[in-house]
A = this chain, B = another copy of it.
């Protein structure tokens, strides 16, 4: 099925080439999962979008109107993924942001089919050679400047690889190309900070809200010593890591407990609770 798309609440799938999203990547986006007509993590997406607008000085949209538009386009879909894109809108030539911008809002919704094996057995990770540049002014935001992720994701095409981890310029792990990274050491849950580069994922924020988590630097050698490793994604949920480097793991108790939490909030993973998700 082709995606259902609206631009500024109108049923079109086209934008002007003078839109600053197209000319400069001057905007933000959110990618969220809708299950059975609900978007349980929407408040966190709305919060991040608002924070991004403040940082980039883009007038924020009405979050209720955006949520309603997402749900309207998702009507009748059992499981769906929505992308909400907000740009600074049309612009004249030149980098100078318009004094009175008219932001463009694009909502796109597609049916979602999750990978059951990824949730149940875990995924294999690789280490990307493309590194994340240090840019505190943009770190954490889900902005439209994503060439680093594109280049990193272009490093492999084997479907046996589920994700690629990215390092910062110091050689520390930050996140995967499209997910955040967590590891358990001796019962302690930790995740790398995202205040110098990387994206502050919504699923990451949910984990931080419900578990005690230490934000600390982590390098690839130390990651192999972890008791459990998993990735978090607003769309794919909690993904156990099965293989990285010379190490392999079985999904551990922290990973399984967070998958159960994902079921509880209404985002069933296909392996864990899809059969009893009517509860």
A17 is an interface residue with CB less than 8 A from chain B: yes
* Chain B residues within an 8 Å CB radius of A26: 146-147, 150
B146 near A95: Cβ-Cβ < 8 Å: yes
Copies of this subunit = 2
Report if A62 contacts B (CB, 8 A): no
* Nearest B residue (CB) for A20: B150
Query: Given contacts A24-B149, A95-B153, A97-B154, are A16 and B17 in contact (CB under 8 A)?
Result: no
Residues of B within 8 A of A242 (CB): none
Contact of B24 with A22 in the complex, beta carbons under 8 Å: no
- Interface assignment of A180: CB less than 8 Å from any CB of chain B: no
A214 within 8 A of B: no
Which among A88, A130, A145, A154 has the greatest number of chain B C-beta atoms within 10 A? A145
Contacting pair B25 A147 (CB below 8 A): yes
Of all chain B residues, which has the CB nearest A134?
B133
- Say yes or no for A177: interface residue by CB 8 A criterion: yes
- Residue A106 at the B interface, CB < 8 A? yes
Spot the interface stretch: A7-15, A68-76, A264-272. Answer: A7-15
A149 to B88, CA, bound (A): 14
B15 touches A22 (CB 8 A): yes
Q: Are the C-beta atoms of A106 and B17 separated by less than 8 Å? A: yes
Residues of B within 8 A of A81 (CB): 93
List of B residues within 8 angstroms of A151 by Cβ: 56, 137
Interface centre among A18, A97, A149, A197 (most CB of B within 10 A): A18
Q: Which residues of B contact A146 (CB under 8 A)?
A: 23-26, 95, 145
In the complex, A157 has a CB within 8 A of chain B? yes
Task: Tell me whether A95 and B150 are in contact in the complex, defined as CB-CB below 8 angstroms, given that A85-B23, A135-B133, A137-B130 are known contacts.
Answer: yes
Q: Is A169 an interface residue (CB 8 A)?
A: yes
Q: Which 8 A-B pairs have the closest CB atoms?
A: A25-B25, A133-B133, A145-B145, A95-B153, A133-B135, A24-B146, A14-B14, A95-B149
4 more A-B contacts (CB under 8 A) besides A143-B147, A145-B146?
A24-B144, A25-B144, A95-B177, A130-B137
Give the interface of A toward B (CB within 8 A): 3, 5, 7, 13-26, 29, 31, 56-57, 81, 83, 85, 88, 93-97, 99, 106, 108, 110, 130-131, 133-135, 137-138, 143-154, 157, 169, 177-178, 197
